[in-house]
């Protein structure tokens, strides 16, 4: 079952994710705007990375020309499709290569739980969501879809690459034209190593963790929702949570995409067609009419 979660206040959404504390230490979601210690990457090499622009900045990854994979906590649900949530490709490319779409709907994994994520201690798992855009993106030299992992692929990866907007500061407006795509390679660590950082929460096979022995390399605020890639530009993780940014021997967590392939496929294949139209919508309308008639009679 898919869960479409609606938040009644943007202010509430912003507030609950500002800081999450556990054992007296700050655990941050990656809102803001920088890849730390990275380099500028060509959009043509990673044409599936997009920005999700609403009240805060997040990253996202095109898995089809209609669907964007991102972190569950990045999705703003109230009035989705009417609140101006913008999905933008191209980054600092010439204007002719930039494509902009608007969110029609946000879908999050059924176990994604805001209350659990903001509790003390928080549950940092299940941070995955999908955004349906209002019309398909068009394939181009700067826009394409990412490869999803096959079962067992993630455990073969020892190094991952995270991507996002790399500036130290950013204007939280609706445009990011002047900000290039940046990327950085990070070492993937096992669950036992990761658990030393997140001893207050459950670290299991729904997460992929990265960690560096020296400070200065990481995803950070604003990169949340963006991809963690392995070989052949295969997405294995979604940038999610961390304790600070770019600290030595401190892990960061990424939602393990491989653990949610059923959720992704169910959303893509069972609920919507290639044009983003909900399948069997006529049945839903018919049921609504019948139910309304029943209420009138009683």
Tens digit of each residue's pLDDT (9 = 90 or more) over 32-74: 335 666 678 899 999 999 999 887 788 999 999 999 999 998 8
In the chain, the domains with their CATH numbers are 39-271 (2.40.10.10)
Interacting residues of 23 by C-beta distance below 8 A, sequence separation 6+: 121, 199, 200
The Cα–Cα gap between 8 and 27 comes to: 24
Tens digit of each residue's pLDDT (9 = 90 or more) over 162-177: 998 754 444 444 345 5
With a cut of 70, list the residues of the chain below it in pLDDT: 1-38, 76-83, 118, 166-178, 200, 213, 215-222, 244-246, 270-298
What pLDDT score does 55 carry?
A: 73
Buried b (16+ CB within 10 A) or exposed e, 10-38: beebeebbeebebeeeebbbbbbbbbbbb
What pLDDT score does 149 carry?
A: 98
Which 3-state string (H, E, C) describes 131-195? Answer: EEECCCCCCECCECCCECCCCCCHHHCCEEEEEEECCCCCCCCCCCCCCCEEEEEEEEECHHHHH
What pLDDT score does 249 carry?
A: 77
What pLDDT score does 180 carry?
A: 82
What pLDDT score does 141 carry?
A: 93
């Amino acid at each position: 079952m898919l869960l479409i979660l609606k938040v009644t206040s943007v202010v509430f959404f912003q507030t609950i994710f500002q800081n999450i504390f556990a054992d007296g230490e700050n655990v941050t979601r990656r809102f803001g705007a920088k890849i730390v210690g990275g380099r500028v990457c060509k959009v043509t090499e990673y044409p599936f990375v997009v920005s999700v622009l609403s009240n805060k900045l997040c990253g996202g990854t095109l898995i089809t020309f209609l669907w964007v994979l991102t972190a569950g906590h990045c999705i703003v649900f109230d009035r989705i499709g009417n609140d101006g949530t913008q999905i933008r490709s191209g980054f600092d490319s010439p204007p002719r290569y930039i494509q902009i779409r608007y969110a029609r709907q946000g879908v999050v994994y059924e176990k994604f739980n805001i209350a659990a994520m903001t509790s003390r201690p928080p549950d940092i798992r299940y941070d995955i969501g999908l955004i349906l855009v209002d019309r398909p993106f068009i394939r181009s030299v700067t826009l394409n879809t990412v490869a999803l992992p096959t079962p067992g692929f993630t455990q073969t990866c020892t190094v991952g690459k995270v991507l996002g907007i790399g500036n130290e500061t950013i204007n939280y407006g609706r445009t990011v034209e002047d900000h290039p795509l940046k990327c950085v390679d990070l070492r993937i660590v096992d669950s036992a190593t990761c658990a030393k950082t997140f001893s207050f929460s459950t670290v299991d096979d729904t997460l992929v963790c990265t960690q560096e022995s020296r400070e200065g390399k990481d995803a950070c605020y604003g990169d949340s929702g963006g991809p963690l890639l392995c070989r052949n530009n295969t997405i294995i993780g979604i940038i999610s949570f961390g304790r600070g940014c770019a600290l030595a021997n401190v892990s960061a967590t990424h939602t393990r995409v491989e653990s949610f392939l059923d959720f992704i496929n169910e959303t893509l294949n069972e609920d919507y067609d290639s044009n983003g139209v909900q399948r069997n919508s006529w049945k839903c309308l018919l049921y609504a009419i019948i139910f309304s008639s029943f209420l009138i009679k009683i």
